[in-house]
Amino acid sequence: MDWQSAKGSRCRQFKGTPRLLCGPELRTRQTAELFGDDVEIVAALADCDFGRWKGTSIDDLQTSEPETLQAWLNDPTSAPHGGESVAQLGERVAAWLNSLEATPGHVIAITHPFVIRAALMQVLQGAAFNQIDVEPLSAIELRFNGCWRLRLMGTDPEGTH
């Protein structure tokens, strides 16, 4: 199924009408359209700000700045690229999650792997950020009912749920 022809199709898997949120980037807005038209853009769901490293692959950084890259990978407070540290990203995402706790109802958040990893670290109250790998177009479910609960959601071979 072509993603553009599937507009609105993903939202049918939920009971009721969930709030549909996404980061401000074009790719998240386009993906959010698979779930519906009433999309709320949320700055807290923006990808990590990689500063001058934006658009540069890890392999290229390993070649050009191996020590700096390693320092960034080892220290969540480090931001040698001039952008956002992993710790700052975590604080941003934690504040967003905390804002959801008082709001009943389902939320679908379309965002980036780094933001998802930060959300998982908050929910799991762990420090293994670099040990979580989130593939593009992955789906996870975070539920709050007095405490956060994580559910990993699979897809069928056709990618319909």
Same structural domain, 66 and 144: no
Same structural domain, 79 and 157: no
Same structural domain, 99 and 144: yes
Same structural domain, 92 and 156: yes
Residue 6 in this model has a pLDDT that exceeds 90: no
Same structural domain, 40 and 63: no
pLDDT, position 13: 63
94-108 residue pLDDT tens: 999 999 988 888 888
| Boundary-marking domain end, from 37, 59, 83 | 83
Q: What is the mean pLDDT of residues 124-142?
A: 76
pLDDT, position 157: 43
Domain with residue 154: its CATH number is 3.40.50.1240
Domain count, the chain: 2
Between 31-35, 93-97, 117-121, 156-160, the lowest mean confidence (pLDDT) is in 156-160
Q: Which domain holds residue 41?
A: 1-49+84-161
Same structural domain, 73 and 105: no
Residue 158 in this model has a pLDDT that exceeds 90: no
| Boundary-marking domain end, from 83, 101, 131 | 83
Same structural domain, 43 and 26: yes
pLDDT, position 125: 81
34-88 residue pLDDT tens: 888 899 999 999 999 999 999 999 999 999 999 999 999 889 999 999 999 999 9
What's the per-residue H, E or C state across the chain? Answer: CCCCCCCCHHHHHCCCCCEEEECCCHHHHHHHCCCCCCEEECHHHCCCCCHHHCCCCHHHHHHHCHHHHHHHHHCCCCCCCCCCCHHHHHHHHHHHHHHHCCCCCCEEEECCHHHHHHHHHHHHCCCCHHHCCCCCCCEEEEEECCCEEEEEECCCCCCCC
Same structural domain, 103 and 154: yes
| Boundary-marking domain end, from 60, 83, 106 | 83
